[in-house]
Amino acid sequence: MNKLPLIIKREYLAKVRNKSFVIMTFLSPILMVGMILLIAYLTQLNDNEKRVIAVLNESGYFSNEFSASEATSYVNFRDVTLTQAKDSTVSQGYYGLIYLPDEPNLEQVAQRAFFYSKNAPSATILDKLENIITGRLRQERLRELGLSPKEYAAMDRRYDINIETFDGLQNIKGINEIKAVIGGAFGYLIMMFIIIYGGFVMRSVIEEKTSRIIEVIISSVKPFHLMMGKIIGTSLAGITQFGIWIISGAILLFIGLAIFDIDPASLTKGGMTQGMANGTNVDVDAVTQNIQLYAQEIFEIPIFAMLVFFIVYFVLGYLIYSSIYAAIGAAVDNETDTQQFIFPVILPLMLAIYVGFFSVFSNPNGPIAVAFSLFPLTSPIVMLMRLPWGIGEGGVPVWQLVSSILILIATFIGIVWVAAKIYRVGILMYGKKPSYKELYKWLKYSS
């Protein structure tokens, strides 16, 4: 006669039928998708807004350098004083005025050029203007050195180094970032799940304690079974919730994009161009070739292995942390007393995420990344961040993966044992807020 399934079922149903759980489950995707749509919509709005900049060019060194682009256009003022130009810039509602004074040489023009605007100007606009003037300065200097504008144009080109691993695999810039983001997403998912559902486990234990049902239950089931049933039941509820989120989020996003007529590619474009870090002079062939390379690289990420290890690390990590949460719930009488115990639990999770983002991404096989992917309280997150670089050569050495999992399993057994002891003593202990010293004493109580 096994009571564990009964307990799991009750915990699952109790969680799933909870009103706030239902609301959260169905409201979150709507909120999330709404937010994404809003951001996409605002980005489009932002793109559509053209900025007009007035140009008062008295110098004669500039002629057609100020040419309209996607986001900005230029209006030339002629035969007006600076004051008049300023006034009409304001009255026309232009974004700003660039003033290039009449000076004997370009050097001085540049030095005394001014940009006037109503508020502090945006950095992109300034960048653009500065680039134009810098380019002009460079051109002028080269002309003085005897180069014709044509020669100059021929000189102006970009170069990207070709990257290859020692195995002869072609490599591309930015792929590390993409891999990091994929690994980071897995790690982040684990952390969120642990914090949210660990908290649920803890609150559920506290509820049993404060309602005194625990005394009734505990005479028919072993505390360990109750604890494990609670952890498993709650996690199943969590998986249900995540499942609903993923499915409904996908559907909603799809519908939303269709309704608002937003090109899905526009959402990912930013990441792609940043990843390529290539200028404007790359020809179309190179772009498609690059995209193929990216696709190839992404396919080379061991997706299947990653999913398998995601599940392994997820299960072990969740079990470790949620048994700690269960023990905390058992040790206290109400939720306000949990703070002193929760902080040390969240600390390694936060550490794992930060170490992941700062250390793993820059050097996935560096000593810090290795250490944290072996340390059991951080390994579920950090190891998953390293895995997109593959297993074995070039990626995570097999011995590290194996020992990381073995350490995690050993820790799991140890922590569950300790947590079960604290849980067993704690659930029947009322009225005092225990100190760490007291918790240590509980460990020594015989059953």
Partner 1 sequence: MNNILVANGVTKQFGDHTALKNVSLEIPKNSIYGLLGPNGAGKTTLIRIINQITYPDKGSVYFDGKLLKPEHISQIGYLPEERGLYKSMKVGEQALYLAQLKGLSRAEAKKRLKYWFEKLEIGDWWNKKVQELSKGMAQKIQFVVTVLHEPKLLIFDEPFSGFDPINANLIKEQILNLKNNGTSIIFSTHRMESVEELCEYIALIHKAEKILDGKLSDIKKAYKSNIFKIGLEIDNPDVLINEMQLKFQVLTHGFDAIEKQLDLTVQLPSNESREILNFLGERANVKGFVETTPTANDIFIQTIQNRNLSHE
Residue type, position 290, single letter: N
Q: What are the residues facing 75 on neighbouring strands? A: 54
Sheet strand arrangement including 51-57 = 72-77, 51-57, 96-100, 114-117
Strands 72-77 and 51-57: parallel
392 backbone φψ class: left, alpha, beta (φ>0; ψ -120 to 50): left
Q: Does 136 interact with partner 1 (rule: CB under 8 A)?
A: no
Q: Does 1 interact with partner 1 (rule: CB under 8 A)?
A: yes
Which of these segments, 27-35, 116-124, 126-134, 438-446, binds partner 1 (CB under 8 A)? 438-446
Spatial separation of the C-alpha atoms in residues 219 and 210, rounded to whole Å: 17
Nearer to partner 1 by Cβ, of 224 and 242: the residue is 224
Helix (H) or strand (E) holding 83: helix 82-92
Member of 82, 147, 221, 298 binding partner 1 (CB under 8 A): 221
Member of 46, 219, 280, 339 binding partner 1 (CB under 8 A): 219
Q: Does 239 interact with partner 1 (rule: CB under 8 A)?
A: no
Secondary structure class of 447 (helix, strand, coil): coil
Backbone angles phi, psi at 171, to 5 degrees: -130, 160
Q: Cβ atoms within 10 A of the Cβ of 356, count?
A: 27
Member of 20, 48, 339, 446 binding partner 1 (CB under 8 A): 446
Spatial separation of the C-alpha atoms in residues 178 and 291, rounded to whole Å: 13
Question: Is 299 within 8 Å of 395 (Cβ atoms)?
Answer: no
Member of 137, 218, 282, 391 binding partner 1 (CB under 8 A): 218
Member of 63, 220, 280, 339 binding partner 1 (CB under 8 A): 220
The pair of three-digit structure tokens given for residue 72, joined into one six-digit string: 């900005």
Member of 78, 157, 212, 437 binding partner 1 (CB under 8 A): 212
Of the candidates 381, 373, 377, the residue with the CA atom closest to the CA atom of residue 399: 373
Nearer to partner 1 by Cβ, of 6 and 23: the residue is 6
Member of 296, 428, 435, 436 binding partner 1 (CB under 8 A): 428
Q: Does 433 interact with partner 1 (rule: CB under 8 A)?
A: no
Residue type, position 26, single letter: F
CB of 9 to partner 1, least distance (A): 9
Nearer to partner 1 by Cβ, of 18 and 411: the residue is 18
CB of 28 to partner 1, least distance (A): 22
Question: Is 318 within 8 Å of 238 (Cβ atoms)?
Answer: no
Backbone angles phi, psi at 144, to 5 degrees: -60, -35
Nearer to partner 1 by Cβ, of 150 and 212: the residue is 212
Residue 53 is given by DSSP the state E
Secondary structure class of 115 (helix, strand, coil): strand
The pair of three-digit structure tokens given for residue 206, joined into one six-digit string: 């506290």
Nearer to partner 1 by Cβ, of 226 and 384: the residue is 226
The residues in 63-92 that bind partner 1, with binding defined as CB under 8 A, are: none
Nearer to partner 1 by Cβ, of 350 and 418: the residue is 418
CB of 218 to partner 1, least distance (A): 5
Which of these segments, 2-10, 44-52, 333-341, 405-413, binds partner 1 (CB under 8 A)? 2-10
Member of 39, 153, 213, 307 binding partner 1 (CB under 8 A): 213
Dihedral through CA 309, CA 314, CA 320, CA 326, nearest 10? -160
Q: Does 215 interact with partner 1 (rule: CB under 8 A)?
A: yes
Site size for partner 1 (CB under 8 A): 28
Member of 217, 244, 282, 346 binding partner 1 (CB under 8 A): 217
Member of 154, 216, 255, 277 binding partner 1 (CB under 8 A): 216
Nearer to partner 1 by Cβ, of 41 and 440: the residue is 440
Q: What are the residues facing 53 on neighbouring strands? A: 74, 96
The residues in 4-23 that bind partner 1, with binding defined as CB under 8 A, are: 6-7, 10, 14, 18
CA Rg value for the chain? 31
Nearer to partner 1 by Cβ, of 218 and 287: the residue is 218
CB within 8 A of 122, min separation 6: which ones? none
Nearer to partner 1 by Cβ, of 5 and 271: the residue is 5
Q: Count of H helices and E strands in the chain?
A: 17, 6
Residues that bind partner 1 (CB under 8 A): 1, 3, 6-7, 10, 14, 18, 207-208, 211-222, 428, 430, 441, 444-447
